[in-house]
Amino acid sequence: MLTAVFVACALPARAAAQTVTFADEPLGAFPKDFDHGVMGAGGPGRWEVVADQTAVGGKALAQLTTDKSEHRFLTAYYQPFIAGNVEVTARFKPVGGDDDQAGGVVVRLVDEKNYYIARANAMENNVRFYRVRGDVRQQLANADVKVLPRVWHTLTLRAEGDQFTVLFDGEFMHTTKDTTPFPRPAAGRVGVWTNSDSITYFDKIDIKASP
């Protein structure tokens, strides 16, 4: 079944490049072109469009639940776009959280339990790259860097074949070759991510696909 799902998602992107914002979405709603999921322990996230004068267009997509389950990973992913080789940049702001204050960007998302992710954490002051497969999250790279809370940052994840490059606020963090076991997602959706009790805002997602 898993192999069939991976093959089904190996479809071309619908557009080579696009920018997603939330300025035209109603406050309190979940964006119409998105879906969301949870992997691991704890309940699902509560994703809503909120007002923020510092956000692009004055609105952001926010994850607002504060479930402190340690192994709780939340995704909100953009349905209209599927790609394999792709670069995604998300602008995010860690707003709150007692145990975690993290934001991330995902690529090649087959479902809420299978994807690649780069994430930055203001509690740990690092930027890491993971492969998520089933209920297992495997860390593949790490860089220690200051991640300020309540400040807008950018996080970029570029996927090119089996090579993955991560930038934070435009600065290179690491490039990793994925040598984890097959099957690996060759293509999938893109989106944003939080974990545990992180309250995180996202206001813009830039997507660029390549052959």
Q: How confident is the model at residue 100 (pLDDT cuts 50, 70, 90)?
A: very high
Using a pLDDT cut of 70, give the percent of the chain over it. Answer: 93
Position 55 scores a pLDDT of 98
Is 8 in a helix, a strand, or coil? helix
Instruction: Give the residue-averaged pLDDT of 196-203.
Output: 98
Residue of 129, 151, 149 lying closest to 139 (CA atoms):
129
CA pair distance 102, 125, nearest whole angstrom: 10
Running DSSP on this structure, what letter comes out for residue 58?
G
What angle is formed at CA 149 by the lines to CA 145 and CA 153, rounded to 5 degrees?
A: 65
Position 2 scores a pLDDT of 32
Can you list the domains of the chain with their CATH numbers? 2-209 (2.60.120.560)
Q: Does the pLDDT at position 39 exceed 60? A: yes
Tokens of 96: 């709150």
Give residue-wise pLDDT tens across range 132-189: 999 899 999 999 999 999 999 999 999 999 999 999 999 999 999 999 999 999 999 9
Position 15 scores a pLDDT of 56
CA pair distance 168, 205, nearest whole angstrom: 14
> How much is the pTM?
0.92
Q: Other CB atoms closer than 10 Å to residue 24's CB: what's the count?
A: 10
Burial class (CB in 10 A: 0-12, 13-18, 19+), 69: middle
Sign of CA dihedral 91, 56, 62, 199: positive
Instruction: List Cβ neighbours of 4 (8 Å cut-off, separation of 6 or more).
Output: none
Give residue-wise pLDDT tens across range 51-63: 999 999 999 999 9
Whether the Cβ atoms of residue 89 and residue 205 lie closer than 8 Å to each other: yes
